[in-house]
Every structure is written in structure tokens, then in C-alpha cells.
């Protein structure tokens, strides 16, 4: 009997020890293990190239902070959840802001490569020097080794740490390719391109390793099994000049109806894109308040009309060009289309001009010619536009907006989803109400990178059928790499979309 009790005691002891260990050791690459993103650390970094390549010396003090601010402000672009496949991410940049501020940027500039590089031991020293103020759980920090203008690369160590013990669990150097206009965007895009490369090539390899967070105490007292499944990113920072203190950032989700696509593919393939193609092209360059005047929106609308009527199946009389219209002019044109367009037809609506985003009510507006910046009575809200689209009985409606479009009305899709395997005839058979926007939440810049690449792709296309989703996939990265905005593509909610797509039909030579 005593022997049996001893055996039972040993078994129970082993069971509880194993259970305790399992609770205290978590795979750092598990999607359910929360992570705190700490930002870009420049301790030990080198900026390789002539000093003039890094801007005027007067800006040196704020330059490192500006790259971290881009990571925060453009959180949809630098999406740690997506790139690092995590369900829960907390952004906490206050410590890197503090450490980077103490650095002398001028002393980090060197005209020739070959200076001492970071190493795993050096990164452990850097992490150990931080004061994480009692933080716990898994931390992620990007240790910048170099922004190398000579080689046109950035070298960054991806470092996961135990915030409680300040132990480096995993670190590996990756390369990023810079690009885009302006000093800040040029190097920020190298971080973005590196993150995309990690998600595409490195993550699966990393995840097969045995990298554990020991004695895990989870941030916000959440165990991974109870982590919030909503796609929210929380940022919490010590107040810094120009940096928000605490923000809840909504991240949009894919709403492709895979069941409808699958069913459609199994159906008859006798459908051929047909019906008439209509376009309503709106450009607002001149305003009643001439302080708002722009040079290019009307020119852009004219260029789009030209390529649609010359290269695609849009008749000139069916491509309506509204130059500097009032709010009433736009509504009148939309109403006339309701009486003209049939359920077999296709409608493209394009807008270029000023836009305004009202953060309090999370609503986007277009500013027609009679808009007053201090009086919203003549603004055209995205909600009003959606109501008009509901009344147009087209087979397919595509909205292309070079201004803000309300996230509440616009359900975006994962840009990695491809349409190549979906039959074009089936895409045409299923009704669609989709939108492509520049992603900006402010007044549109006068020279639009978004319109530039949209036109370029339409002009260069040689395929007879070009689905709008395929067009978007082809221009998305080019826009991101050459501007500070992230373009969006998705369904206009509650307007009758059934999973199809607008298809540009090229004229045969």
C-alpha cells in the first residue's frame, strides 16, 4: 500500500510539474501568445553615406523619432499582427523614444561602410540597458544596425525578448530595400519591405525552432487562450511631442465570400462580360474658396476618360466628365444614371479632389466646388454616396476614390488574396459593389501617386479582361513604396455585393 501511495505521489508530482511548466513556457511564434512591439532602437546603428543624404543637421535630433512615429501613425501599413501572425499586439514605444533621444545622430553617420556591426552579444547588452518599468511577457524590438545609402539597404535585427528577465530569446539580422520620396519614407519603406519578406520567406522557418518564453506573465494579464480575437492594436506610450498617448486602432478584415465564389465556379461558364460600360469621372481643381484650389484633379479625370474610351469598352457619350462640379451637380448626375443603367451594365465612378475625415464620427467626405472648409452643408458624405449607389441597378459598380472613404462603409480584403484562379466569367456573373481608394484620410496631395499608377496600369495592360482586384494587386506595392499612404480595396457595405468583380474589357486591336 505504501508503495502504491509513493507511486501515486510521484505521478501526481510529475503531472503538476509538467502542467506548471506548460503554463510557464510558451512558443514565441505562437499566434496566441501576445507580443509588445517596442519600435526601432538605434543604439549602435550606423548611417552610411555623405551627411547631406540624411538631411540638414538641424533635423538630426528628431529624425530617429520620426521613423518610429511613422510606424505608429501608419499602423495599417506596418501591421505587426499580419506580418508576425499575431492575434494580439500592444505598441509601447516610450522606451525606444527615450533611449534614441539620448543618442548623438551626427556621430552615427559614416561615409564609408565597414564599421563594427551589431552582434547577438551586443544586442543583449542593449536590451539589458533598458528600463521596462515592470513590463512582462513577450517583447519585440527592431535593432537597427545600419541605414546604408551606399548599398541601398537597411540592416535590422529582429529581436524577441522576455520583458521580465530582459533576456534575448531570439534575434536574427534581416535586410530591407528602401524606396519612395523623402528621407523619412525612403528608409521607413525599407522596414516595410523587410517585414513583407519575413512574412513571405522567414516566418515558417522561424516557427519550426524551439524558442520559448519561460515563466510567462502575460501583458494586460491575458493568457493567450483568453486573448481578444478582435483585430485591435492597442498603443500605449508615455506622452512624447507629437505622439498619441493611448489609442485603440481598428484594423479592417477580409470579407470575400468564399462560398459564393466556390458555388459560382461550379455553375455554368457560359457568361461573357457584356452590357454597356458607363463612367462618372469627377475632378475638382477649382473651388469657390480659391485657397483650396488644386492643379491636377481635373487633368487626372480627363486622362482617365481618355484611356477608358480609347483602350477599353467605354463609349465617349457614356463616360461623363464632371469638371469642378457642385454637390448638386454630382447628385444630379448620379440620379440620371439610375434611370439609364440596367442590370446588365457596368459603372465606374472616379473622384479626385479634396477630402476630409471626421474622426469623431468616423465619416469621410468629398469636397465639391461649393464646399466650405468650415461649413459641412455642401460636403458630400460617404454615407450619402452609398445611398445613391444602392439606387443604381448595375451588374457591377466600381468606385475609385483619390480621397478618404469611410472605414465603416468599406470592408477591405486581405491584399494577399489572389483572383487568378477564379474564372473571369464567374466574376462577371456575380454582382459586385467594390471600391479602390488611395487610403488617405486628409486632403489629397496635388500630385497623386495613386492616380499615376492607376493610369499607368490601365495603359500598360495587354489582357483582354482585367478584374479590378487584379489591377489593385498590381499597383498596391508601387503606391506604398512611393507615398505615405496605403491604398485600400474592398466591398462597399450594404449595397448589394455578391462576391463578383468589375472587369475592365480591353478593345481588340
Shared domain check, 408 and 342: yes
Shared domain check, 196 and 127: yes
Shared domain check, 198 and 68: yes
Residue 432 lies in a domain: yes
Shared domain check, 304 and 203: no
Shared domain check, 281 and 384: yes
Q: C-alpha cell of 4? A: 502504491
Shared domain check, 281 and 210: no
Q: Give the sheet arrangement for strand 432-437, strand by strand.
A: 319-323, 277-283, 346-352, 396-402, 432-437, 488-492, 410-412
Shared domain check, 326 and 406: yes
Last residue of some domain: 205, 224, 250?
Answer: 250
**Contact call for residues 343 and 276 (beta carbons, < 8 A):** no
Shared domain check, 291 and 200: no
Looking at residue 459, its pLDDT comes to 92
Confidence of residue 21 (pLDDT cuts 50, 70, 90): very low
pLDDT at 51 exceeding the cut of 90: no
Q: C-alpha cell of 82? A: 499580419
Confidence of residue 311 (pLDDT cuts 50, 70, 90): very high
417-448 b/e with 16+ CB inside 10 Å = b? eebeebebbbbbbbbbbbbbbbbbbebbbeeb
What does pLDDT average to over the chain? 78
Residue 487 lies in a domain: yes
Looking at residue 424, its pLDDT comes to 59
Q: Which of 58-62, 462-466, 489-493 has the lowest mean pLDDT?
A: 58-62
Residue in the structure block whose three cell numbers are 487633368: 299
Query: If 0-12 CB within 10 Å is exposed, 13-18 middle and 19+ buried, where does residue 374 land?
Result: exposed
Residue 18 lies in a domain: no
Residue 417 lies in a domain: yes
Looking at residue 149, its pLDDT comes to 87
**Mean pLDDT of all residues in 133-162:** 91
Sign of CA dihedral 383, 385, 388, 393: negative
User: DSSP secondary-structure letter at 201?
Assistant: I
Q: How many domains does the chain have?
A: 2
Task: State the residue range of the domain holding 490.
Answer: 258-505
3-state class (DSSP) for residue 420: coil
With residues binned 3-state (H G I as helix, E B as strand, rest as coil), the percentages for the chain, rounded to 5, are 40, 25, 40
Looking at residue 142, its pLDDT comes to 96
**Contact call for residues 489 and 469 (beta carbons, < 8 A):** yes
Residue 411 lies in a domain: yes
Of 76 and 428, the one with more pLDDT: 76
* CATH code, domain with 347: 3.40.50.1460
Q: Which DSSP string corresponds to 345-367?
A: -EEEEEEES-EEEETTTTEEEE-
Query: If 0-12 CB within 10 Å is exposed, 13-18 middle and 19+ buried, where does residue 159 land?
Result: buried
**Mean pLDDT of all residues in 474-487:** 81
Residue 256 to residues 253, 439, 469, 494, 500: CA-CA distances in angstroms? 9, 20, 11, 14, 9
Shared domain check, 328 and 201: no
Q: Per residue in 334-381, pLDDT tens? A: 999 998 999 889 999 999 998 887 878 778 889 999 999 888 899 998
Query: If 0-12 CB within 10 Å is exposed, 13-18 middle and 19+ buried, where does residue 69 land?
Result: buried
Last residue of some domain: 250, 285, 316?
Answer: 250
Residue 15 lies in a domain: no
Last residue of some domain: 217, 250, 283?
Answer: 250
Shared domain check, 275 and 328: yes
Looking at residue 263, its pLDDT comes to 40
Shared domain check, 76 and 40: yes
Confidence of residue 484 (pLDDT cuts 50, 70, 90): confident
Q: Per residue in 195-253, pLDDT tens? A: 999 988 888 889 888 888 876 444 333 333 333 333 334 443 333 333 333 333 333 33
pLDDT at 415 exceeding the cut of 70: no
**Mean pLDDT of all residues in 420-436:** 70
Residue 232 lies in a domain: yes
Shared domain check, 187 and 63: yes
Residue 108 to residues 41, 59, 123, 146: CA-CA distances in angstroms? 13, 14, 17, 9
Residue 17 lies in a domain: no
Looking at residue 233, its pLDDT comes to 41
Amino acid at each position: 500500500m505504501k508503495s502504491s501511495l509513493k507511486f501515486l505521489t510521484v505521478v501526481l508530482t510529475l503531472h503538476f510539474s509538467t502542467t506548471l511548466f506548460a503554463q510557464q513556457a510558451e512558443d514565441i511564434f505562437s499566434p496566441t501568445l501576445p507580443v509588445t512591439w517596442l519600435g526601432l532602437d538605434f543604439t549602435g546603428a550606423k548611417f552610411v553615406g555623405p551627411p547631406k543624404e540624411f538631411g540638414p543637421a538641424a533635423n538630426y535630433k528628431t529624425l530617429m523619432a520620426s521613423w518610429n512615429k511613422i510606424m505608429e501613425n501608419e499602423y495599417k501599413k506596418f501591421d505587426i499582427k499580419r506580418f508576425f501572425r499575431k492575434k494580439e499586439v500592444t505598441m509601447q514605444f516610450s522606451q525606444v523614444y527615450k533611449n534614441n533621444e539620448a543618442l548623438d545622430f551626427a556621430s552615427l553617420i559614416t561615409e564609408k561602410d565597414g564599421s563594427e556591426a551589431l552582434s547577438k552579444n551586443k544586442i543583449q547588452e542593449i536590451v539589458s540597458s533598458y528600463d521596462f518599468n515592470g513590463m512582462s511577457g513577450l517583447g519585440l524590438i527592431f535593432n537597427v544596425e545600419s541605414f546604408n545609402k551606399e548599398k541601398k539597404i537597411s540592416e535590422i535585427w529582429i529581436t524577441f525578448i522576455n520583458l521580465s528577465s530582459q533576456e534575448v530569446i531570439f534575434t536574427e539580422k534581416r535586410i530591407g530595400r528602401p524606396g519612395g520620396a523623402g528621407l523619412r519614407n525612403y528608409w521607413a519603406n525599407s522596414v516595410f519591405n523587410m517585414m513583407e519578406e519575413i512574412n513571405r520567406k522567414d516566418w515558417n522557418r522561424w516557427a519550426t525552432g524551439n524558442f520559448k518564453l519561460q515563466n510567462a506573465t502575460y501583458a494586460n494579464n491575458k493568457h493567450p487562450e483568453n486573448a481578444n480575437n478582435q483585430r485591435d492594436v492597442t498603443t500605449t506610450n508615455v506622452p512624447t511631442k507629437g505622439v498619441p498617448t493611448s489609442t485603440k486602432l481598428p484594423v479592417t478584415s477580409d470579407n470575400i465570400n468564399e462560398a459564393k465564389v466556390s458555388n459560382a465556379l461550379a455553375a455554368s461558364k457560359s457568361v461573357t462580360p457584356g452590357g454597356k460600360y458607363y463612367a462618372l469621372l469627377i475632378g475638382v481643381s477649382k473651388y469657390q474658396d480659391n485657397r483650396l484650389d488644386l492643379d491636377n484633379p481635373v487633368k487626372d479625370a480627363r486622362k482617365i476618360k481618355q484611356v477608358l474610351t480609347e483602350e477599353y469598352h467605354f463609349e465617349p457619350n457614356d463616360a461623363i466628365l464632371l469638371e469642378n462640379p457642385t454637390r448638386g451637380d454630382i447628385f444630379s448626375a448620379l440620379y440620371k444614371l439610375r434611370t439609364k443603367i440596367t442590370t446588365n451594365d457596368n459603372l465606374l465612378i472616379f473622384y479626385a479632389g479634396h477630402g476630409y475625415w471626421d474622426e469623431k464620427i468616423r465619416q469621410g467626405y468629398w469636397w465639391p466646388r461649393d464646399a466650405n472648409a468650415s461649413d459641412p452643408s455642401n460636403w458630400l458624405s460617404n454615407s450619402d454616396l452609398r445611398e445613391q449607389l444602392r439606387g443604381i441597378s448595375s451588374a457591377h459598380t466600381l468606385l475609385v476614390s483619390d480621397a478618404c472613404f469611410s472605414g465603416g462603409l468599406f470592408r477591405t480584403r486581405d491584399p494577399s488574396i489572389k483572383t487568378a484562379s477564379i474564372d473571369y466569367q464567374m466574376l462577371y456573373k456575380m454582382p459586385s459593389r467594390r471600391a479602390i481608394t488611395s487610403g488617405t484620410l486628409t486632403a489629397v496631395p496635388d500630385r497623386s501617386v495613386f492616380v499615376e499608377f492607376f493610369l499607368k496600369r490601365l495603359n500598360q495592360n495587354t489582357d483582354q479582361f482585367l478584374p479590378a482586384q487584379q489591377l489593385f494587386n498590381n499597383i498596391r506595392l508601387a503606391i506604398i513604396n512611393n507615398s505615405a499612404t496605403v491604398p485600400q480595396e474592398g466591398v462597399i457595405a450594404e449595397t448589394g455585393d455578391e462576391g463578383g468583380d468589375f472587369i475592365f474589357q480591353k478593345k481588340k486591336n
